[in-house]
Amino acid sequence: MSYSSMETNLDQQFDPNRMSTYEEEFKWLKWVPLILEIIILTWGMINLSSATAVEDKSAGLWKNQMITICIGTIGTLFLMIPHYSFLSRLAYMIYLGNLGLLLAVLAVGKSSLGAKRWIGFGGFSLQPSELMKISTVIFLAKYFENKSTTSGLKFKDLLMPTIFVMIPLVLILVQPDLGTAMIIMLVYGSILLFLKISPKVLVGLTIIAALALPVVYNYGLKPYQRQRITTFIDPMSDPKGAGYNSIQSMIAVGSGQMFGKGWKKGTQAHLNFLPEHHTDFIFSVFSEEWGFVWCSILLLLYLLFIMSGLSVAYRSNDKFATLLAFGITSIFFWHVFVNMGMVMGMLPIVGVPLPFLSYGGSALLTAMSGVAILVNIANKKYMF
């Protein structure tokens, strides 16, 4: 078991006399995350070209996304070449570096729509909070690499990692970027659950969460964030105001029916009834134009993609890699779940993009980097 690179792989494939083993037969599985990424991204770009053919601020942004894909492709190649263990070595550096970027956002960040989330680099702007998702996962993978959790995590085990997660979380919350903060919390929780939390602690945490919820709701949230929750519970309380986005989004999704209205024929998006139709509400555009059948297929692709990520985690024989692959996969899962849930009116409206479909440079680069790391792990696990 020593084949590890694409070159040997191809050589063997062209040898007709070679008996293939199970491992060899399914060698392509290592590329599944990347293949699915390419399929979903391609479909996403087709959808985005429709979503950005609207006479508003989104017009023509399709091209920007294309440039991001080029940058992301180069990044993917660079991230696949070295052994992923460099991430383990650099884990704390990456964490601190990203923290630095978050602080820079507070200091010199650019504001848009009332939030300060970006820092400019020449013509580009970067959203460090997006990258922080992966940085946090790398940090946690590194942190738990050498800790045994077979007996379940205790409160004292949770103290340090929680502090390290809370620091970037607070910086992100003040921007404010509730969506990203929520994803980091969910990913952190997923990793902890994956590592196993002792039942007592789990019960304790549940009680604390239940008690903290009203306090956070009343004092921790900004009025507009509270309103989003109110209107989520009863969208009709203000159908022309706060509930408008949620209602219009549900109408868009539902009106797609079985086969959709056709590409670029979605009236909800093209006549501007859908807010943020190229970013957070991209799935409304997709489901309106493609319908239930194709939506199910897209959902299936996401499911396969997440399963392929979990399979990378499962097959890895390195705890750091397992945690890293699992963490990255959980990022994708929560993005898909929260975004679609929000678009379909099951969750309050929080700014969480849909991977590969939503417009947004930093989110796409983060997603592509995640896939690159997954593929790296899948291909390098036998390299020692």
Q: Which residues bind another protein (CB under 8 A)?
A: 55, 145-146, 148-150, 193-196, 240, 248, 250-258, 267-268, 271-273, 287-288, 291-292, 295-296, 299, 302-303, 306-307, 310, 313-314, 317-320, 322-323, 326, 333, 336-337, 340-341, 344-346, 384
Nearest CA among 105, 92, 89, 171 for reference residue 136: 92
Q: What minimum distance in Å lies between the beta carbon of 129 and another protein?
A: 23
Of 97 and 189, the one with the shorter C-beta distance to another protein is 189
Q: What minimum distance in Å lies between the beta carbon of 266 and another protein?
A: 9
Which residues, 6 or more positions from 169, have their beta carbon under 8 angstroms from its beta carbon? 181, 184, 185
Of 76 and 322, the one with the shorter C-beta distance to another protein is 322
Per-residue tokens: 189: 């929780």
Q: Which helix (H) or strand (E) holds 71?
A: helix 61-80
Adjacency order of strands within the sheet including 115-121: 110-112, 115-121, 124-126
How far is it, in rounded angstroms, from Cα 212 to Cα 61?
A: 41
Of 39 and 301, the one with the shorter C-beta distance to another protein is 301
Of 101 and 313, the one with the shorter C-beta distance to another protein is 313
Of 7 and 56, the one with the shorter C-beta distance to another protein is 56
Q: What minimum distance in Å lies between the beta carbon of 86 and another protein?
A: 15
- Amino acid present at 287: S
Of 167 and 307, the one with the shorter C-beta distance to another protein is 307
Q: What minimum distance in Å lies between the beta carbon of 15 and another protein?
A: 25
Q: What minimum distance in Å lies between the beta carbon of 322 and another protein?
A: 6
How far is it, in rounded angstroms, from Cα 72 to Cα 315?
A: 26
Nearest CA among 257, 246, 244 for reference residue 289: 257
Q: What minimum distance in Å lies between the beta carbon of 212 and another protein?
A: 23
Q: What minimum distance in Å lies between the beta carbon of 314 and another protein?
A: 5
Of 131 and 295, the one with the shorter C-beta distance to another protein is 295
Which residues, 6 or more positions from 370, have their beta carbon under 8 angstroms from its beta carbon? 134, 328, 331, 332
77 conformational bin, left if phi > 0, alpha if psi -120 to 50, beta if neither: alpha
Nearest CA among 203, 195, 200 for reference residue 150: 195
